Amino acid sequence: MLGPGGVGGLVAGLLARDGHRVICLAREETAAVLAERGVTVRSGTFGDFTARVEADTELREPVDALIVAPKETGLRSALERVPREALGAGLAVPLLNGFEHVDVLRGRYPAEQVVPGTIRVESTRVGPGVIEHGGLNARIELASSTAPHARVEAFAEVLRGAGQQVDVLADETAMLWGKLSFLLPMALLSTRYGVPVGEVRTVHRDRMLAVIGEFAEVAAAQGAPLDVPAPRVVHGIALRARPHTPDGLELILKRRRGYPSARPAFEDERLSAIRGPGQSPGTGSRGPTEPDAPPTARTP
């Protein structure tokens, strides 16, 4: 497990509890705590438990799978903990938002070993090796245009055995955009205005619709067309985001607690996609200094 934070720590804890040997790769201070205390998970879904894991600052032996779960902004430096030769024939499975990290991994490890994934979960690292999981079960999607399907399915079964919901999909691009086209606009706008998604939906509805619509169009242009017309997607998402939903609050709270923001990486993903072949920013593309920004917007 590279990056035993909110996502990585939860998955590592579940796998270890299920009897798998798990090695967490982290900074020296964190690795020392994990080696001594293990991973503690507090979850209304999975229960409260502590699972023993091994920990190190670098991978020193081949593994069946490397789950990649650091912050996007720290991916390249984190990968220095996993030399190519150390991975052996193991799969490299990133559970990150966006899509540019896939090329980074395929540039470092054999393409046939890279299996992109997404995870939908509310999970926070509140201390070294201490994970608070809120909300529903962790839902993971896996898809790879380069790895053998049988290997992807076999790894999915390991995750399912640990209690996680896992779907193996056929279209890697559609999977990555399927999450990004909703998460990214909501994350950008909720942190931009310092409000939860419910307030984005009501107070900043026009901007929300513009940004989501833009992403739906860019996703289609990048080879990930949605299965319904973009306008229906936009309004459907808007209606599903209830006024008082807490989605987005985790991002705000993390910023107030001093955690590094993923917003710069989100912005990079958005601009990279928009500036692809034949693409140009639309009405929702203005960045954090757009002229109509409210001067009194809360800044966590």
pLDDT of residue 231 exceeding 80, the answer is no
Please, which pLDDT band fits residue 103 given cuts at 50, 70 and 90? very high
Please give the model's pTM, rounded to 2 decimal places.
Answer: 0.75
Interior/surface letters 172-207, b for 16+ CB within 10 angstroms, e for the rest = bbbbbbbebbbbbbbbbbbbbbbbbbbbbbeebeeb
Characterize the bridge pairing of strands 39-43 and 49-51. antiparallel
**In whole angstroms, what is the distance from residue 130 CA to residue 142 CA?**
26
Torsion of CA 187, 189, 192, 194, to 10 degrees: -80
Of residues 200 and 61, the one with the higher pLDDT is 61
Query: Position of tokens 């903990």?
Result: 81
Please, which pLDDT band fits residue 296 given cuts at 50, 70 and 90? very low
**In whole angstroms, what is the distance from residue 261 CA to residue 73 CA?**
9
**Each residue's pLDDT tens digit, 261-279:** 444 444 455 445 544 544 4
**Each residue's pLDDT tens digit, 167-218:** 999 999 889 888 777 777 888 888 888 888 788 888 988 888 888 777 777 7
DSSP track, 127-195:
ETTEEEEEEEEEEEEE--SSS-HHHHHHHHHHHHHTT-EEEE-S-HHHHHHHHHHHHHHHHHHHHHHT-
145 class by beta-carbon count within 10 Å (0-12 exposed, 13-18 middle, 19+ buried): middle
pLDDT of residue 46 exceeding 60, the answer is yes
pLDDT of residue 242 exceeding 50, the answer is no
At 97 the pLDDT is: 87
**Range of weakest confidence among 87-96, 98-107, 221-230:** 221-230
At 272 the pLDDT is: 53
Q: Phi and psi at residue 226, in whole multiples of 5°?
A: -75, 160
